[in-house]
Amino acid sequence: MMRNCVIIGGSHAGSQFAISLRQGGWLGNITIIGEELDYPYHRPPLSKTFLSGEKKIEDILLRPAELYEKSRISIRLGERVKSIDRANKSVITDNNNIINYDKLVIATGARVRKIPIPGSETEGVYYLRNSDDVNKIKSRVIANDHAVIIGGGYIGLETAASLRKQGMKVTVIEAMARVLQRVTAPELSNFYKRIHDEEGVEIFEKVIATEFKKIDEKIHILTSCGKTFIGNMVIVGIGVIPNIELAESAGLAVKNGVEVNQFCQTSDPEIYAIGDVSWHYNEIYGRFLRLESVPNATEQAKIAALHINEKPKAYNSLPWFWSDQYDLKLQIAGLSEGYNHIVIRGDIEKGRSFSAFYFKDNNLLAVDAVNSPREFMFTKMVLTKGQKLNKEILSDNSLDLKSAIMNQ
């Protein structure tokens, strides 16, 4: 009998897994079930070049459509899995199709967190998670019209940059005391606030949206501080929620994601979970993590495929991320959570190129490298090797980076 591998989710993790599984020697059937109507595509450009109109959906596909056919990978687009029947090793879709599996991969990713206030369903209030979302936003992009963005995280700021470059007036409302507060240091928050101010974006912090009202074709945003903002459209970017419901209802172990071992296996050894939905242990940081990251999705896909093809390799990767805004490329290596000291290398006050190194005592945790690819690659190497750095040498931009590595 031909064995079947079924993948729930057609994004970075699902697509990479299918290709890696076939390339690794799997001879059986491979089926991707994806809710969207588009073939798997790169998601980072959605808030950047796709929103700006520089690229079309065909330009951001992960792989050409014909490659799946050539690789004998079946893709069922526009179909949703509603339940997993572990006893019978099958999945049931929303149109009651039953698809049997020998191996199952959950790559369901995450969905946007909805804003729970009156008027949240008002026409002209958008979220940004998939190509359909962006196409709706693009249809409302008009130079000199006003866009109000709720949320000053990376998605909110990237969207602000894209809309500003297209000539829109842009206001960002952030509920916390500073933009990017959950993910970076105050120094970085101040830097990005300065950049957006220089580019003509207004940012209001410690302001909570409390209600949306449509008046005369414009949206009025009522807030906790009593100030009302008026926009032609509103874009909400307040985080995402992992799509764990399928796994949970199937009785799999779930925490802040679907719990997996070092080979991306769930509590059911025939079922794997990869990408944004997985709750996995990271050896470098010594704790469980759930990462919303393309590199993580890609790496876990390869790890799961190797294990199914009986070539096991344990997951042991350094988390890294990036963000593009205006002429800035931010590259992040590592996780800064828990830091108690920061070292700045370069001109963060007036320039647009520097690096911020995060330490916990004398241990390097991460770097935020803005237009500084060398510092980014250097930090990836140091963190992977577990090396220590001399902070004084590191902070001196005139000294060679490698001279900061301490002999142990």
pLDDT digit string, tens, across residues 103-126: 999 999 999 999 999 999 999 999
| Maximum pairwise Cα distance, the chain | 68
Strands 363-370 and 328-334: antiparallel
What's the confidence (pLDDT) of residue 407?
76
Q: How many CB atoms lie within 10 A of CB 111?
A: 14
Pairing of strands 29-34, 4-8: parallel
User: Looking at residue 1, what is its pLDDT?
Assistant: 77
What is the C-alpha separation between 320 and 304, in angstroms, rounded?
Answer: 20
pLDDT at 408: 59
Q: Over the stretch 331-376, which tens digit does the pLDDT of each residue have?
A: 999 999 999 999 999 999 999 999 999 999 999 999 999 999 999 9
Q: What is the DSSP letter of 38?
A: S
Pick the closest to residue 247 from 34, 83, 7, 4 (CA basis).
83
Q: Flag residues of the chain having pLDDT under 50.
A: none
Cα angle for residues 69, 74, 78 (degrees, 5° grid):
120
**What pTM value is reported for the model?**
0.94
Query: Per DSSP, which regions of 169-268 are E strands?
Result: 169-174, 202-205, 209-215, 218-223, 228-231, 233-236, 240-242, 254-255, 257-259
> Residue 25: what pLDDT?
96
Q: Residue 382 is inside which H or E element, if any?
A: helix 373-385
Going from the N-terminus, what domains does the chain have, and what CATH number goes with each?
A: 4-111+240-308 (3.50.50.60), 132-236 (3.50.50.60), 327-404 (3.30.390.30)
